[in-house]
Amino acid sequence: YKQGSEVLLEQRNGLSSPGMAFTLEERLQLGIHGLLPPCFLSQDVQVLRVMKSYETKSSDLDKYIILMTLQDRNEKLFYRVLTSDIERFMPIVYTPTVGLACQQYGLAFRRPRGLFITIHDKGHIATMLNSWPEEDIKVCLISFYGAEKNLGPLQDLGCNNDLYGPSYSCTRPFFLIPVLLPWGMDNSSQVYTSLPVLWRFVSTSNYPLNYRYGMNCLIQFEDFANANAFRLLNKYRNRYCTFNDDIQGTASVAVAGIFAALRITKNKLSDHKFVFQGAGEAAMGIAQLIVMAMAKEGISRADAISKIWMVDSKGLIVKGRSHLNHEKEMFAQDHPEMRTLEEVVQRVKPTAIIGVAAIAGAFTEKILKDMAAFNDRPIVFALSNPTSKAECTAEQCYHLTEGRGIFASGSPFPKVTLASGQTFFPGQGNNAYVFPGVALGVIVCGVRHISDDIFLTTAESIAEEVTEEHLAEGRLYPPLSTIREVSFKIAVKIVDYAYKNNLASWYPEPEDKEAFVRALIYSTNYESFAIDNYRWPQAAMHIQDV
């Protein structure tokens, strides 16, 4: 009876229990016969039952709750359901529905997922890490929501946003520890966190993380404000295995879309001129990776920077403007001031415009028509999330550019059919294409420091997965249904790059890198409890006794 209750406790944790798929023999051996309903359901049948329940829900939030409840109850089944139709479920468990779920977090509270660290825990982080039940941690996701980005009702985002889950990546879920810093704003949007204290807090957090989980533990930062995001990245990128998804992940997926677009425009990256709406983390990360890619084509850094124009809340970023931080100063142009994006587009005549400022409708009808007038195939990236913050819709872009626009967005948009009968399937520049494969490749070969070259390699790998048929349909990214395979191929390329450039720390170098990476891929199939000594050691001992 004791062992039966222990097994059911593990089942309630949902990490590896097959639930109703326990066979009669397994139930008898574990002493849980009678503690489950007298019914035996294969995983395929369980999937059908979940789908039947899912289809009864009309609102996206209710569908989200159904899936997250399943994750708490049976994680293997949760990932099996998601991978059965990734394109269908991605908008529910990720952008854009996850934003609504965050706003309603208090009303839909279930089992908390993650380690919550507050300002009052400073000095006790190592002790708190001992509370986390898993010891073999490969990835630590540190997210801070509140005063840093003035997110207001999205302060609970970290609790609901399982970044590595909805990506259906290859990394095993129990390799991840989400560390949430849920302080910065209360429900009245009153700032009560001192940002200098935050800075000192995060600065002292990395050591206990690496002390407990090893120097190869990947630390990912998420949703820090511009100044702190760049400071953290610049300070720690050569000391720890770390990256910032808002800066480097967004950059990689955006540049991947640009690489794919070059196959339509039939020219080089250095032949293009870019105007950014926004000059925050995402814009700077994309711009810096574009400069790096142009340098790879052979042009100087100064010439590459001259092809990038940035517009923030005060207008065009130009030399001599006061209060420019280091990142903005890098891309300041020697040009008279201009206040509006329309004016900048009219004067600069870019070949590409990229929106990353979350200003809905920033790409006006005039801007889109001007882009079509200046270019045979204008590149229009409306990358802001959620959908309500997109700079323009896919329909607006295709209609106003007469079907010649090369469009990508951060949120999903439905297909667009023009009067001519031509149909487009807009590409979604989702970071889920990037960080799972990067994480897998990094942890598989033990990369200690993640360089920007890795993110450029990732962008090239994603673009290679876009076929001519995809481009003809308007897609700049491979279908979401292939995202697990995309993550796998990214990881293999990173492993190959790491060993060629002496970045790997696990030796000897594997001869078959694909097999080496595939060995760590998470499987949604149920495993026999009898051989799962790691999860159920007492159950395994009981079987040996029998």
Asked whether the predicted pLDDT for residue 323 surpasses 60, the reply is yes
> Mean per-residue pLDDT for 310-333?
92
222 is in an annotated binding site: yes
Report residue 164 as tokens. Answer: 């590595």
The DSSP H or E segment spanning 48 is helix 43-55
385 is in an annotated binding site: yes
Quick one: pLDDT at residue 523? 83
Quick one: pLDDT at residue 182? 58
Asked whether the predicted pLDDT for residue 536 surpasses 50, the reply is no
Selected residue with higher pLDDT from 484 and 198: 484
The band of 198, judged by pLDDT with boundaries at 50, 70 and 90, is very low
Quick one: pLDDT at residue 10? 52
3-class state of residue 524 by DSSP: coil
Quick one: pLDDT at residue 438? 93
3-class state of residue 251 by DSSP: helix
> Mean per-residue pLDDT for 470-490?
93
C-alpha 206: how far from chain center: 21
Selected residue with higher pLDDT from 211 and 382: 382
Quick one: pLDDT at residue 179? 74
Quick one: pLDDT at residue 497? 96
Percent of the chain at pLDDT above 70? 82
The band of 129, judged by pLDDT with boundaries at 50, 70 and 90, is confident
Asked whether the predicted pLDDT for residue 49 surpasses 60, the reply is yes
Asked whether the predicted pLDDT for residue 319 surpasses 80, the reply is yes
pLDDT digits (tens, 9 = 90+) for 245-258: 999 999 999 999 99
Give this prediction's pTM: 0.85
Quick one: pLDDT at residue 461? 96
pLDDT digits (tens, 9 = 90+) for 108-121: 677 777 788 777 77
Asked whether the predicted pLDDT for residue 45 surpasses 60, the reply is yes
> Mean per-residue pLDDT for 281-292?
96
Percent of the chain at pLDDT above 90? 51
Selected residue with higher pLDDT from 220 and 397: 397
> Mean per-residue pLDDT for 94-104?
77
Quick one: pLDDT at residue 542? 39
533 is in an annotated binding site: no
Quick one: pLDDT at residue 533? 41
Radius of gyration over alpha carbons of the chain, in Å?
A: 24
| Averaged confidence pLDDT in the chain | 83
Asked whether the predicted pLDDT for residue 72 surpasses 70, the reply is yes
What is the three-state SS of 373-422?
Answer: HHCCCCEEEECCCCHHHCCCCHHHHHHHCCCCCEEEECCCCCCEECCCCC
Q: Which of 272, 342, 337, 283 is nearest to 307 (CA)?
A: 272
Quick one: pLDDT at residue 1? 38
Least confident of 72-81, 167-176, 421-430, 506-515: 167-176
The CA-atom distances, in angstroms, between 165 and each of 9, 57, 176, 484, 506 are: 22, 22, 10, 11, 26
Cβ atoms 480, 87 nearer than 8 A: yes
Least confident of 207-211, 404-408, 493-497: 207-211
Cβ atoms 429, 410 nearer than 8 A: yes
Asked whether the predicted pLDDT for residue 388 surpasses 50, the reply is yes
Selected residue with higher pLDDT from 535 and 126: 126
Asked whether the predicted pLDDT for residue 88 surpasses 80, the reply is yes
Cβ atoms 81, 44 nearer than 8 A: no
3-class state of residue 427 by DSSP: strand
The DSSP H or E segment spanning 69 is helix 60-73
The band of 35, judged by pLDDT with boundaries at 50, 70 and 90, is confident
CB atoms within 10 A of CB 212: 17
Selected residue with higher pLDDT from 387 and 156: 387
> Mean per-residue pLDDT for 432-449?
91
343 is in an annotated binding site: no
pLDDT digits (tens, 9 = 90+) for 201-236: 555 566 667 777 878 888 888 877 777 788 888 888
C-alpha 435: how far from chain center: 5
HSE at residue 186, side-chain half, CA atoms within 13 A, is 3
CB atoms within 10 A of CB 208: 16
Cβ atoms 88, 377 nearer than 8 A: no
512 is in an annotated binding site: no
Quick one: pLDDT at residue 6? 55
Asked whether the predicted pLDDT for residue 185 surpasses 60, the reply is no
The residue type found at 237 is R
Cβ atoms 232, 243 nearer than 8 A: no
